Amino acid sequence: MRPSILLGIAVAVVALAAAACGSTGGKQTTPSSTAPQSTAPTSVSAPTSAPNGTTSTTASGVNPSTPEINPSGDIPDNQVFVKYASRDGKYALVVPEGWARTETGGATSFADHFNSIRIEATKSAAAPTVATSRANEVPVLQRDVSGFALGNVTSVGRTAGVVVLVTYRASSAADAVTGKRVALDVERYEFWRNGTQVTITLSAPQGSDNVDPWKKVTESFAWAT
């Protein structure tokens, strides 16, 4: 075969090959990829200010700096106490400073909202006992005290000696402004010496934690020498 013919055939083959490649369009495919989704961290709301000035948090947790909110009847730990002496000079004790003082007959009362301390001296031929208080004092309280429900009658030791303690539940007098009444926890201490009984009645809204203040008051009671 003549060289010129061979050259022509080769050129034709190259052209056909180029046409075949062109028919595929040179199209290339790339694998599809899905970009990873970005997950933002869960945000925690900042503490908000409550109406009473304390801070509150969302369900993410409890704010450890939130101050404890005491029940309305709790006497503050920083309460100052001052000495009170009876007008006849027979006894003395300490009472919370700043509480309103009222004299009614032979009784003296100190009050702050629904908290109160009532001190009354009466003549009594014999010292009270748990038995005589149950038999004589409790029925009178049941008759005269609104909402009365007896807790217990026991004897306890105080600086002035062994005294009778009557605990009970009662209803407060109506508030002069709001007319509101609350349930009270009451502790009644009966001190006695030489024919005189001094009764100290301590009242506070139900559930108040006044164990230490009430003990301070009753431990401070002293007969005049």
- The neighbour count for residue 99, using CB atoms within 10 Å, is 18
pLDDT in tens, 213-224: 999 999 999 999
pLDDT in tens, 44-80: 444 444 433 334 444 445 455 444 444 578 999 999 9
Return d(Cα 208, Cα 75) in angstroms, integer.
Answer: 8
pTM given for the model: 0.69
pLDDT in tens, 152-194: 999 999 999 999 999 999 999 888 888 889 999 999 999 999 9
User: Are 218 and 203 contacting, i.e. CB atoms less than 8 angstroms apart?
Assistant: no
pLDDT (0 to 100) of residue 105: 85
pLDDT in tens, 4-22: 444 454 445 444 444 444 4
In the chain, the amino acid numbered 63 is N
Tokens of 38: 């970005």
Tokens of 135: 């038999």
User: Which domains does the chain show, CATH number per domain?
Assistant: 81-223 (3.40.1000.10)
